[in-house]
Copies of this chain bind each other. A is one copy, B any other.
Amino acid sequence: MALSSTAYVILGLIDGRGLTGYEIKQIVDRSTRFFWAASYGQIYPELRRLEAAALVKGAERSQGDRRRREYRITAAGREELHAWLQRPPAVIETRDEALLKLFFAASLPATAPSALEHKRRLHAEKLGRLREIESSVAEHATPYQYATLRFGIALSEFCVRWCEEELEELRSGRHARNRTERRTS
């Protein structure tokens, strides 16, 4: 079949309960968002494709004049989801502009602290959002969902800490050489 990962995000989310495109987007933004984002521009067209392939089934759930289309997974859709879960994951990619700026900071060394400081702030903000989610979500998430949340929190904490340590090193001037001896600590 060869669907996009974003298609499996949809299949995974509607496995068990019917959801509208709008609701899918809301849930994504508080969950997979942190390791797999999806925009309306992907979700709505993808729902149509999935319905055309009979992997989901949409039904009108309009209330008054407000149109609302709720999608449920079909038996074929669940099969497709299970097949995907059984295939080995391959994609783990990162795009980190802050790290890129740090990487090239030798071209303008005065910018290095700022790159690190912004990176620290971005991770701290993400950490704040994840902690807020954790405090409101713990009871209705699956253990696996909860595990990915804990991973995101621990990872963000790690990144914040690393930035702080590195800023400290920059300030203390120890950054002028490659401290090979530090690697083993």
Binding site for B on A (CB under 8 A): 5, 8-9, 12, 15-16, 31-32, 34-37, 78, 81-82, 84-86, 88-109, 111-112, 114-115, 118-119, 122-123, 126, 134, 138-139, 141-148, 150-151, 154-155, 158-159, 162, 166, 175-178, 180, 183
4 A-B pairs with least C-beta separation: A12-B104, A106-B142, A89-B98, A89-B97
Residue in A9, A34, A142 whose Cβ sees the most chain B Cβ within 10 Å: A142
Show 30 A/B contacts (Cβ-Cβ < 8 Å), sorted by A. Answer: A5-B95, A5-B97, A9-B100, A12-B100, A35-B96, A35-B103, A36-B99, A82-B111, A85-B105, A86-B114, A88-B114, A89-B98, A89-B118, A90-B122, A91-B97, A92-B95, A92-B96, A92-B122, A94-B94, A99-B148, A99-B151, A102-B144, A103-B145, A105-B142, A105-B144, A109-B144, A139-B178, A144-B175, A151-B162, A155-B162
Q: Is the interface of A mostly helix, strand, loop or mixed?
A: helix
Most buried by B among A91, A115, A183: A183
Tell which of B34, B159, B178 touches A146, judged by Cβ atoms closer than 8 Å.
B178
Q: Which of B94, B95, B101, B148 contacts A85 (CB 8 A)?
A: B101
Measured CA separation A62–B79 after assembly (Å): 56
Alpha-carbon separation in the docked complex, A128 to B90 (Å): 17
Q: Return chain B residues, CB-CB under 8 Å to A138.
A: 178, 180
